[in-house]
Amino acid sequence: MAHVFISYHKNSSRDYARKLADFLIANGFDVWIDDRIDYGNNWEQLIFKAVEQAAAVIVIMTPGSYQSRWVQAERLYAEKNNKPVFPVLLEGDIFPAYLAFQTADVRDGQVPPEDFLHDLEVSGVQRSSAPGRNVAAQVPKPEAAPKAHDISLPTAPTSTAKTTITRSRRFEAAMPSQIIPTAPTEVWAKISLPDSDGLRGELPAVVPSGDVIGKEDARATGFPFKFPVDPTTGEALPVTVSVRAKSAALTFDDGEITVELPPDYDSQTVIFTANLHSNTAPGMRVRVTLDLVYEARLIAQISVSALVQAPMRVPSPSAWTLATAGISAPPGQPPAENKPASSTGVLPGELQELYADEALRGSESLTDRRRGGL
């Protein structure tokens, strides 16, 4: 039975997304909701595969989800694959792309009315008389990484017990090679397995200023890390580490971000947003140093740099600017001049092209896509 995919922003709507998923399951629908942290290296591929296989996609709208690169990626991918989209307004305003859609208003925190369930059925979503299931929970847990990644620790000859397992990792970072002083920029970081695509596998990417982080901008340094071991099973356990960003020329919205470091696959990508100090002039080179910290100890360190360039006035907007305007301004109303392209964040891989496609088709094509009886 084809499932309903729920797209949401974890920080602003996690609790409601789970409440909605439970409601749909209780009413006979199969649901796919991303609420696990153990999907492994292919987490991104699993997300988009789940969208492809969905019978419909629910987008929970909040200010946070409007700025979330993943929510925007999921909704655009749903449209690319001609999936019926059901917008649900939890906080803030309706996304401009959905102004002509029928929207379920749940700002009171309640589940949608019975008509919402009926509309799901009309759009082609199968409904059972018995409770549905959480399809994401059926995804197999990732296999352990090859033992080649393990580095044996010297142990006392009188004991075979291990309290830690040492494994090799890469600490990666990247930022645009050139930045402008009038717009925020981004610095990306990731902790990867030695033989994975890692951060370079997610590049190139466009940052809010319109500058591009290319594969060639990524820097990496290797380091060993000691993972604690479960004394009962002997398996390595995940840990929580901090990534800290510092620079003499930049101010960060958040200079320290925590991330889970799994023993057998890559960490999630960490993104720092930064603004240049007002006294930073074009032609200067700014440097960012990133520290990887575990239990108050510095584990690894890496630096990236960028050249400050004077902002240029382009005669016609780029495809990225057009694409951002296409999803962030109400139909018929042009975006404000010099508005930074940060309203949707940075999308991974091929999803950047969808913004350009969406913009070139025009805002009318967005609002006319009322599928599945919406």
* Global pTM exceeds 0.85: no
Does the residue 363 lie in any domain?
Answer: no
Does the residue 279 lie in any domain?
Answer: yes
Q: pLDDT tens-digit profile of 119-131? A: 999 888 999 889 9
What's 102's domain CATH number? 3.40.50.10140
pLDDT band at 247 (very low <50, low <70, confident <90, very high): very high
pLDDT for 328 beyond 80:
no
Does the residue 355 lie in any domain?
Answer: no
Does the residue 367 lie in any domain?
Answer: no
The single residue listed with the structure tokens 């930049």 is 250
Q: pLDDT tens-digit profile of 34-84? A: 765 444 546 778 888 999 999 999 999 999 999 888 899 999 999 999 999
Which tokens go with 188? 């990306």
Give me the pLDDT at residue 45, please: 82
Pairwise CA distance, residues 238 & 264, whole Å: 9
Does the residue 334 lie in any domain?
Answer: no
**Sequence-distant (≥ 6) Cβ neighbours of residue 62 within 8 angstroms:** 9, 12, 13, 90, 91, 92
Count of CB atoms situated within 10 Å of the CB of 232? 6
Last residue of a domain, one of 109, 138, 167: 138
| Residues 155, 127 within the same domain | no
What's 175's domain CATH number? 2.60.40.2660
| Residues 12, 124 within the same domain | yes
| Residues 156, 132 within the same domain | no
Domain count of the fold of the chain: 2
| Residues 183, 231 within the same domain | yes
Domain that holds residue 202: 150-308
Q: State whether the Cα torsion 253-256-262-264 is positive or negative.
A: positive
Count of CB atoms situated within 10 Å of the CB of 144? 14
Does the residue 49 lie in any domain?
Answer: yes
Give me the pLDDT at residue 139, please: 62
The answer to whether residues 185 and 175 touch, using CB atoms and an 8 Å cutoff, is yes
The answer to whether residues 305 and 274 touch, using CB atoms and an 8 Å cutoff, is no
| Residues 162, 133 within the same domain | no
